[in-house]
């Protein structure tokens, strides 16, 4: 992305400024807490305690973080190609369809360790397919991918409602969901992993998808920074003109980047559908696709930033649920505000404090403002 401002040392660019932005977002969120008549410091304490105070708390935190790693990666891959894929929500929703098809077909045929790769492939495939049309239209006909992916979110919602109240619903059932999957399509929990640290888990649905998410994060890092395709994606994102002069096939790069992005979103469906609910439910994505926007912006579109950002949002989700027991006026919707504020300050207003910080550096260090090579680029 072109930075129309003076260069700063890398640690300021990638460490200090994002940190300041996120801190401001949380301070403003604290003002909202104050406005509804509660103590923000106490709220923050309860939140952290709810998220990390018990084995179950940590289990839930990482369970939610799993969703957000996937959707954060979804946004990040698109960001690197300077595409804004708002459709993560819809792609994850349709990804759930891919998971459900495999599970409903093979749950009493294969054990989970065969069904998991099958479902992963189908989830990635359906998610990628849902991104294909917007990608193709952006690449060949110039239709803005933001608008088309928003439209596809709504189309996905209608499609899934139609399927869940119709063809996918078992006969005689009233609830808009599929039947519960048999054991062959239920993923093993990761209780042992937390037990290694001396934690006990009773109900937290943390499952093997968490490890898959970490693997996906590594995969995205390899793809973006260590392959030719990733180089092409980044070139395209940095300057489409340069990419064209370099002989990069723009249509191909846009379509592939969007499909990888959609595949990441689609794979998110594994976690709630196969790992927790063991059936396909209406609205199971529950906004995780949009949280991905905040996660990717906060993590600066780098897997090493996305994982902590996803855990932070997992903490907000889990801690927020606990917090609302103690402070009923602060329901879980507080997280939506925090999410919005993080997107605002770490995304849209990311340059707000930059001139001030640059000036402070100038006054403090004088001539130390040489452009430094930036890691990870």
Partner 1 sequence: MGMFETLILILDSTVRLAIPLMFAALAGLYSERSGIFDIGLEGKMLAAAFAGAAAAAVYGSAWIGLFFAIIVSTALALVHGFASITHRGNQIVSGVAINFIAAGTTIILGQAWFRQGGRTPALSAEGSRFTAIDLPFAEAVRDVPVLGLVYSELISGHSILVYLAFAAVPFTWWVLFRTRFGLRLRAVGENPGAVDTAGISVTWLRYRAVMCTGILCGFAGAYLAVAQNAGFVKDMTAGKGFIALAALIFAKWKPVPVMFACLLFGFLDAVAIRFAGIDIGLFEVPPQFMQSLPYILTVVLLAGFIGKAIPPKAGGQPYVKER
Binding site for partner 1 (CB under 8 A): 4, 32, 35-37, 84, 86, 133-134, 137, 141, 143-144, 146-148, 150-152, 154-155, 157-159, 161-162, 166, 290, 293, 297, 329-331, 333-341, 343-344, 347-352
Q: In whole angstroms, give the CA distance from residue 313 to residue 279.
A: 25
**Cβ proximity to partner 1, 105 vs 137, nearer residue:** 137
The set of residues, in sequence order, having a beta carbon less than 8 Å from that of 141 and lying 6+ positions away, is none
Cβ pair 1, 364 in contact under 8 A: no
Q: In whole angstroms, give the CA distance from residue 183 to residue 111.
A: 8
**Cβ proximity to partner 1, 17 vs 103, nearer residue:** 17
**Cβ proximity to partner 1, 210 vs 290, nearer residue:** 290
CB of 132 to partner 1, least distance (A): 13
Length of the chain: 377
Neighbours of 141 (CB within 10 A): 8
**Cβ proximity to partner 1, 94 vs 330, nearer residue:** 330
Q: In whole angstroms, give the CA distance from residue 135 to residue 144.
A: 9
CB of 123 to partner 1, least distance (A): 22
CB of 340 to partner 1, least distance (A): 3
CB of 281 to partner 1, least distance (A): 17
CB of 146 to partner 1, least distance (A): 5
User: What values do phi and psi take at 189, rounded to 5?
Assistant: -75, 165
**Cβ proximity to partner 1, 121 vs 159, nearer residue:** 159
Q: In whole angstroms, give the CA distance from residue 231 to residue 235.
A: 6
CB of 208 to partner 1, least distance (A): 31
**Cβ proximity to partner 1, 109 vs 147, nearer residue:** 147
Q: What is the DSSP string of 272-305?
A: IIIIIISS-BTTTTTTHHHHHHHHHHHTTT-HHH
Q: In whole angstroms, give the CA distance from residue 142 to residue 160.
A: 28
Specify the DSSP class assigned to residue 196. Answer: T
Token pair recorded at residue 78: 């698109």
Closest CA to 306 of 269, 350, 346, 349: 346
CB of 137 to partner 1, least distance (A): 5
**Cβ proximity to partner 1, 10 vs 337, nearer residue:** 337
Q: In whole angstroms, give the CA distance from residue 45 to residue 68.
A: 23
**Cβ proximity to partner 1, 10 vs 336, nearer residue:** 336
CB of 293 to partner 1, least distance (A): 6
Closest CA to 279 of 183, 153, 171, 181: 181
Cβ pair 334, 320 in contact under 8 A: yes
CB of 190 to partner 1, least distance (A): 30
**Cβ proximity to partner 1, 18 vs 275, nearer residue:** 18
């Amino acid at each position: 992305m072109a930075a129309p401002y003076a260069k700063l040392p890398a640690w300021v660019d990638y460490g200090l400024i994002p940190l300041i932005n996120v801190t401001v977002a949380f301070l403003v969120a604290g003002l909202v807490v104050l406005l509804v008549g509660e103590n923000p410091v106490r709220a923050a304490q309860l939140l952290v305690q709810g998220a990390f105070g018990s084995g179950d708390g940590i289990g839930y935190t990482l369970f939610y973080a799993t969703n957000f790693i996937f959707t954060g990666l979804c946004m990040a891959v698109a960001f690197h190609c300077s595409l804004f894929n708002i459709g993560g929500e819809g792609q994850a929703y349709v990804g759930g369809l891919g998971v459900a098809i495999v599970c409903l077909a093979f749950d009493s045929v294969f054990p989970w360790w065969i069904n998991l790769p099958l479902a992963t492939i189908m989830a990635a495939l359906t998610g990628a397919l849902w991104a294909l049309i917007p990608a193709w239209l952006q690449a060949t006909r110039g239709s803005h991918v933001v608008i088309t992916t928003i439209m596809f979110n709504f189309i996905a919602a209608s499609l899934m409602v139609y399927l869940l109240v119709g063809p996918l619903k078992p006969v005689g059932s009233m609830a808009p969901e599929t039947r519960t999957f048999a054991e062959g399509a239920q993923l093993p929990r990761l209780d042992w992993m937390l037990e290694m640290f001396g934690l006990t888990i009773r109900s937290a649905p943390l499952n093997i998808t968490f490890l898959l998410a970490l693997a996906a994060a590594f995969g995205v890092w390899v793809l973006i920074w260590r392959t030719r395709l990733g180089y092409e994606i980044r070139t395209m994102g940095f300057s489409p003109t340069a990419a064209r002069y370099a002989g990069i096939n723009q249509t191909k790069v846009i379509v592939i980047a969007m499909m990888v992005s959609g595949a990441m979103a689609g794979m998110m469906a594994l976690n709630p559908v196969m790992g927790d609910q063991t059936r396909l439910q209406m609205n199971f994505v529950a906004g995780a696709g949009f949280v991905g926007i905040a996660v990717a912006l906060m993590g600066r579109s780098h897997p090493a930033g996305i994982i902590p950002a996803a855990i932070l949002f997992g903490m907000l989700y889990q801690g927020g649920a606990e917090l609302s027991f103690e402070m009923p006026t602060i329901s879980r919707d507080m997280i939506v505000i925090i999410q919005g504020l993080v997107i605002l300050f770490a995304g849209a207003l990311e340059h707000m404090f930059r001139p001030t910080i640059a000036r402070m550096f100038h006054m403090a260090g004088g001539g130390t403002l040489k452009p430094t090579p930036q890691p990870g680029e």
